[in-house]
Chains A and B, each alone.
Chain A
Amino acid sequence: MPILRRFSDMAADHDFDPVPPAVSIDTLSHSFGQGSMRRQVLENISLRINPGEVVLLTGPSGCGKTTLLTLIGALRTVQQGSVNVLGQRLNGAGRRSRQQVRRRIGMIFQGHNLLRCLTAEQNVQMGADLLPDLTYRARRNEARTWLRAVGLDDHQMGQLPHDLSGGQKQRVAIARALAAHPRLLLADEPTAALDSRTGREVVDLLKKLAREQACAVLMVTHDPRILDVADRLLQMEDGCLLPAIQ
């Protein structure tokens, strides 16, 4: 069982800490485009996220939050600086090792990005299918357990995303992300498409389930009403991380 501790406690003894951080980034910079079109999007970012920690990231539009998330999610190659995620160094990591890291990261998108042709249950099982050495039945039960955990009943499980409400779709997306037993959850504005009450419910659920799994969470949000779920709040501006406020 990983021990949950406050970041402040850990910062003190971080040099001889037995639990490695979920994410550790050092002087990361990133830019898009070539030559005169070249634009620096991230500048000199350093950041640590400990296992089980829920971190919220806010900042004005276009400041580079999504770019940072894709770099942590091993969806882009690292240009400058170092990124370590779940013990894997991502600088210069090949396709294959990045794909391996992604299996241990859950991702929740602004749009739910469910597969339209699969039922809710099948969608979640696409996540559970990533677990090695489990029988089909076990993976299906896993999927059902998660769907119940996010509050879908048996009837709704058999429905296509098309027939579910926005909040339900986002719950399915959360179940799918968690079904692969990730150690890190990345979420980019998961509440953007939801009304404020549903958004609140979804975020509370996300936090609760991540806590139970001792899964670290990095969530980008613009929604000021959900900031209080965070263990720690990060703010970005123009590609730079502002000093911690909490």
Chain B
Amino acid sequence: MKSLWQGRRIPLSWMLLTRQPVRLLVALAGISFAGILMFMQLGFRDGLFDASVTVHRLFDADLVLISPRSASSVRMAGFPRRRLIQTLADPSVEGVTPVHWGLMLWRNPETRRNRAILALGFNPDDPFFLDPGLAEQTGVLKQKGRILFDQLSRPEFGPIADWYNDGRVVETEIAGNRVRVEGLVSLGTSFGADGNLLTSTETFLDLMPQKSPGGIEVGLIRLQPGTDPDLAVARLQQRLPGDVTVLTKQGFIDFEQNYWKSSTSIGFIFTLGAAMGFVVGCVIVYQVLYTDVSDHLPEYATLMAMGYRISHLLGVVMREGFYLAALGYVPAYLAGQGLYWFVRDATKLPVGMDLPRAITVLVMILVMCMLSSLLAMRRLIDADPAEIF
């Protein structure tokens, strides 16, 4: 360490950058812009994918049973309820909860327009949510025709929350059946569902008579503490016939996200947006470094004439790129934080800075600057020390 300090040289790259403040600012503005663009696009992408599993995350379950015919939360197929009961034979299973899951047509009581809403039906005595506050509210569902409405649902479902809070009796129709809003919960919207409602198994089956009573869409399994979920998945999958798929809770979340990632172009569009930011950044940094090298060509040639190695000069350009990356990342990161806050506030999307994305963008900016300096270095070949006398 000491010898490194002793062996240090004049920080030529740093001087080249800082003694031209305007050019430095232009470069930093460009890099920050590219970084912000990448933060935005990747943030939106991850936020949207994250939003597709807002409901999934609420479940208090270690494992989840679904039908292999289910494609996503908007197309959940049923499987025999018996399968869930069968898992109780495994000693590591502590308890199970059957859940009905389906989209229903909700009539906006104000405009009388219908809109698809995600309904979850379950035994009100056996709520399965991680949030204990939710569990306390489900008692009211024991009466038939009662529902809990998600107040985070989009406004197109009607001013349900406002009416309810005003003390009005809020009633509407689902598939021709009368339902009454008996309380408000906060779940959150997702890709597949603009709104959510909770109800009892009986009400659910009344509202969707075409579903067979012996079938469920989701089976939640809680394991004995200390059980390895992955081993339990393998064991249960072996024990059960092929008409169910056993997933860990994370697997259930991934199942949903994969659907949106692979069968929609959302991922592609936003990744493309981030790539655009990368390219724009490359062009700007390359332009800045190229002019910088060109402007200083006689000086580089002088250094070569003095006996500096070409690799030393390449290192100077390389370090310029590195400093630009490091300096440009800081404002990009801060602006990214600010924009995430703004977007969260405006769209209710769960967009936030997380470490993997912070690192991804840092690496992208580093690659961007290094790549640009590599390209700009080619200009150095033109530095001929024989021409400077």
On whether the two chains bind one another, the answer is: yes
| Cβ distance B388 to chain A, nearest Cβ, rounded Å | 6
- Is B7 within 8 A of A136, CB to CB? yes
- Most chain A CB neighbours (cut-off 10 Å) among B19, B307, B389: B389
Stretch at the interface among A13-21, A97-105, A199-207, A236-244: A97-105
| Cβ distance B120 to chain A, nearest Cβ, rounded Å | 67
- Most chain A CB neighbours (cut-off 10 Å) among B6, B12, B306, B388: B306
Q: Bound complex: CA of A100 vs CA of B385, how far in Å? A: 14
Q: Bound complex: CA of A176 vs CA of B303, how far in Å? A: 11
Q: Does any Cβ of B come within 8 Å of A47's Cβ?
A: no
- Within 289-320 of B, Cβ neighbours of A (below 8 Å) are at 296, 298-299, 302-310
Q: Does any Cβ of B come within 8 Å of A125's Cβ?
A: yes
| Cβ distance A75 to chain B, nearest Cβ, rounded Å | 4
Beta-carbon nearest neighbor of A116 in chain B? B299
- Within 1-19 of B, Cβ neighbours of A (below 8 Å) are at 5-10, 12, 15-16, 19
Q: Does any Cβ of B come within 8 Å of A126's Cβ?
A: yes
- Is B389 within 8 A of A102, CB to CB? no
Beta-carbon nearest neighbor of B385 in chain A? A75
Q: Does any Cβ of B come within 8 Å of A129's Cβ?
A: yes
| Cβ distance B125 to chain A, nearest Cβ, rounded Å | 77
B7, B20, B306: the one within 8 Å of A130 (CB): B306
Stretch at the interface among A34-42, A107-115, A144-152: A107-115
Q: Does any Cβ of B come within 8 Å of A6's Cβ?
A: no
Given A122-B10, A129-B10, does the pair A117, B389 have CB atoms closer than 8 Å?
no
Given A116-B299, A117-B15, does the pair A109, B10 have CB atoms closer than 8 Å?
no
- Is B305 within 8 A of A75, CB to CB? yes
- Is B12 within 8 A of A115, CB to CB? yes
Beta-carbon nearest neighbor of B309 in chain A? A99
- Sorting the interface of chain A by its residue count into under 10, 10 to 19, 20 to 34 or 35 or more gives 35 or more
- Is B307 within 8 A of A99, CB to CB? yes
Given A109-B389, A115-B299, does the pair A136, B305 have CB atoms closer than 8 Å?
no
Contact mask for chain B residues 378-389; partner A; CB cutoff 8 A; 1 contact, 0 none: 000000011011
- Sorting the interface of chain B by its residue count into under 10, 10 to 19, 20 to 34 or 35 or more gives 20 to 34
A125, A135, A180: the one within 8 Å of B6 (CB): A135
Stretch at the interface among A66-74, A163-171, A209-217, A222-230: A66-74
- Is B309 within 8 A of A113, CB to CB? no
| Cβ distance A245 to chain B, nearest Cβ, rounded Å | 25
Q: Bound complex: CA of A180 vs CA of B308, how far in Å? A: 11
- Is B19 within 8 A of A102, CB to CB? no
Contacts of A117 in B (CB 8 A): 12, 15-16, 19-20, 296
Beta-carbon nearest neighbor of A117 in chain B? B19
| Cβ distance A161 to chain B, nearest Cβ, rounded Å | 10
Interface of B is mostly: helix
Q: Bound complex: CA of A76 vs CA of B299, how far in Å? A: 18
Contacts of A109 in B (CB 8 A): 302, 388-389
- Is B7 within 8 A of A102, CB to CB? no
Q: Bound complex: CA of A88 vs CA of B20, how far in Å? A: 40
A66, A95, A118, A126: the one within 8 Å of B306 (CB): A126
Beta-carbon nearest neighbor of A76 in chain B? B386
- Is B389 within 8 A of A110, CB to CB? yes
Q: Bound complex: CA of A127 vs CA of B9, how far in Å? A: 11
Q: Bound complex: CA of A116 vs CA of B16, how far in Å? A: 9
Contacts of A75 in B (CB 8 A): 305, 385-386, 389
| Cβ distance B20 to chain A, nearest Cβ, rounded Å | 7
| Cβ distance B18 to chain A, nearest Cβ, rounded Å | 8
- Most chain B CB neighbours (cut-off 10 Å) among A70, A101, A127: A70
| Cβ distance B330 to chain A, nearest Cβ, rounded Å | 23
Given A70-B386, A109-B302, A113-B298, does the pair A129, B9 have CB atoms closer than 8 Å?
yes
A113, A126, A176: the one within 8 Å of B12 (CB): A126
- Is B307 within 8 A of A103, CB to CB? yes
Beta-carbon nearest neighbor of A70 in chain B? B386
| Cβ distance B315 to chain A, nearest Cβ, rounded Å | 13
Q: Does any Cβ of B come within 8 Å of A188's Cβ?
A: yes
Contacts of B6 in A (CB 8 A): 135-137
Contacts of B20 in A (CB 8 A): 117
Given A107-B306, A115-B299, A126-B303, does the pair A136, B389 have CB atoms closer than 8 Å?
no
Contacts of B8 in A (CB 8 A): 136
Contacts of A110 in B (CB 8 A): 389
Beta-carbon nearest neighbor of A135 in chain B? B6
Beta-carbon nearest neighbor of A176 in chain B? B306
Q: Bound complex: CA of A95 vs CA of B310, how far in Å? A: 10
- Most chain B CB neighbours (cut-off 10 Å) among A95, A107, A117, A118: A117
Contacts of A95 in B (CB 8 A): 310
- Is B305 within 8 A of A118, CB to CB? no
| Cβ distance A63 to chain B, nearest Cβ, rounded Å | 14
- Is B389 within 8 A of A66, CB to CB? yes
- Is B307 within 8 A of A73, CB to CB? no
- Is A118 within 8 A of B308, CB to CB? no
Sorted from nearest, which 6 A-B pairs have the closest CB atoms? A103-B307, A102-B307, A117-B19, A135-B6, A75-B386, A113-B302
Besides A73-B305, A115-B299, A117-B15, 7 other A-B contacts (C-beta < 8 A): A109-B389, A117-B16, A117-B20, A122-B10, A136-B5, A137-B6, A160-B19
CB pairs A–B below 8 angstroms (28 shown): A76-B386, A102-B306, A102-B385, A103-B307, A104-B307, A107-B305, A107-B389, A109-B388, A113-B298, A115-B302, A117-B15, A117-B19, A118-B10, A118-B12, A118-B15, A125-B9, A125-B10, A126-B306, A127-B306, A129-B9, A129-B10, A130-B307, A130-B308, A135-B6, A136-B5, A136-B6, A136-B9, A188-B389
Interface residues of B (CB under 8 A from A): 5-10, 12, 15-16, 19-20, 296, 298-299, 302-310, 385-386, 388-389
